[in-house]
A and B are shown apart, each in its own frame.
Chain A
Amino acid sequence: AQKITQTQPGMFVQEKEAVTLDCTYDTSDPSYGLFWYKQPSSGEMIFLIYQGSYDQQNATEGRYSLNFQKARKSANLVISASQLGDSAMYFCAMKGSGNTGKLIFGQGTTLQVKP
């Protein structure tokens, strides 16, 4: 069975500093994909970044980067130069190879950026 774990219920970061949100996963599928989504208080799910299990390099998208450590089964999200608008809930999710794309989500981490 697939499982995603986010062990940080809440995190604080000072504006303009970097922050790492942890995510570990468990799967027996040889091919899988890992996603990070941001959910502000409005409820919309905003796609941030994707990492495929066979990707050689860590994914980056602007201020977001994914620290993918396959042997440790971790896919931490790094947000650089935090902004007040980054305050939101962040979800790590995984898609396995044996399905049509459904995602399994972690518990989420609430990030608060302090001015």
Chain B
Amino acid sequence: GAVVSQHPSWVICKSGTSVKIECRSLDFQATTMFWYRQFPKQSLMLMATSNEGSKATYEQGVEKDKFLINHASLTLSTLTVTSAHPEDSSFYICSAPARGLAASQETQYFGPGTRLLVL
């Protein structure tokens, strides 16, 4: 089945630094990818929609200058957390939609996630 990878899986950084997270679709093309954020024992909150060849669409309340998204190719989207602070510590996970065998079948494949800890 379709696979989505994320890198890195873990990152620890100092406050004020920037962190880049990569999301790749390994065996399918994804013109759209999604970035989610998840705090411990909570649900996934959509941050933004990454669009290949155009600007990302951010959800209400998400700072686009803080969370920079670039969809460089049909298989790669990156999320950069700029000037990270401890409150940015979270689990970041990307996803990409893919069609199944049946016309009506659709699913979204998620990357394994990136745990960010800002000290």
Chain A residues within 8 Å of B, Cβ to Cβ: 33, 35, 37, 42-45, 47, 50, 52, 54-55, 89, 91, 95, 100-108, 110
Chain B positions within 8 Å of A47 at CB level? 107-110
Chain B residues within 8 Å of A, Cβ to Cβ: 32, 34, 38, 41-46, 49, 51, 91, 93, 95, 97, 100, 104-110, 112-113, 115
Are A44 and B113 neighbours in the complex by a CB distance under 8 Å? yes
Which 6 pairs show the lowest CB-CB distances between chains A and B? A45-B110, A101-B97, A43-B113, A52-B104, A105-B43, A100-B32
In the complex, which residue of chain A has the Cβ closest to the Cβ of B34?
A102
A42 and B38 alpha carbons, distance in the complex (Å) = 13
Additional A-B contacts beyond A44-B113, A45-B110 (20; CB < 8 A): A43-B93, A44-B110, A44-B112, A45-B95, A45-B113, A47-B107, A47-B109, A47-B110, A89-B41, A95-B106, A100-B49, A101-B32, A101-B97, A101-B106, A104-B46, A105-B43, A105-B45, A106-B43, A107-B43, A110-B41
Which of B49, B108, B115 is in CB contact (< 8 Å) with A43? B115
Chain A positions within 8 Å of B105 at CB level? 50, 52
- Minimum CB–CB distance for B57 against chain A, Å: 9
User: Are A50 and B106 CB-contacts (below 8 A) given A101-B97, A102-B49?
Assistant: yes
Are B107 and A35 neighbours in the complex by a CB distance under 8 Å? yes
Which of A44, A89, A103, A106 is in CB contact (< 8 Å) with B108? A103
A to B CB contacts below 8 Å, 11 in the list: A43-B93, A43-B115, A44-B110, A44-B113, A52-B104, A52-B105, A91-B44, A102-B34, A102-B49, A107-B42, A108-B42
A88 and B8 alpha carbons, distance in the complex (Å) = 23
Are B91 and A43 neighbours in the complex by a CB distance under 8 Å? yes
